[in-house]
Amino acid sequence: YYKEITDNLIKGASEILKSNSIDYQILYVPGALEIAPAIKIILDKSPKKSSFDGFVALGCVIKGETYHFEIVANESSRAITNLSINNSIPIGNGILTVLNQNQAVKRSDPSKLNKGADAALACLSLIKIKDNIKYEWFQNKN
């Protein structure tokens, strides 16, 4: 819905992924509520579970005059968290939930708060944990 904001988020995330030599693809969906279902469809359609090491969910929800903001903000976050936990897939949540356009611009701008980069870094951090946890880590070391 907010092209300038999502473009900023994508720019911030892309810079992190490129600087870490990560191959990535961008998929656009109509809104924040469609992000988790899109990730689930990709997971279900992937020829093997390891087709993608993780996902970075980027979007923006700006508070309006109705209760719809709370539903979209809460449910998009819940769905992404549940999807990540239930499928053991790293997902960096970069969906901004803000009160106004100025807050969204500030948080999305790569030269300011750069929340797109933060979401990409969160995903990379989770991938690193997933890749480095070994069975021996859980063994009792007396």
Q: Which residues are catalytic?
A: 68
End-to-end CA distance of the chain: 56
Longest dimension (CA), the chain: 59
Closest CA to 39 of 83, 69, 76, 7: 83
Distance CA 140, CA 41 (A): 39
Distance CA 21, CA 123 (A): 14
- Where helices occur in 3-140 by DSSP H, the ranges are 3-19, 35-45, 68-87, 101-108, 115-132
Distance CA 69, CA 64 (A): 6
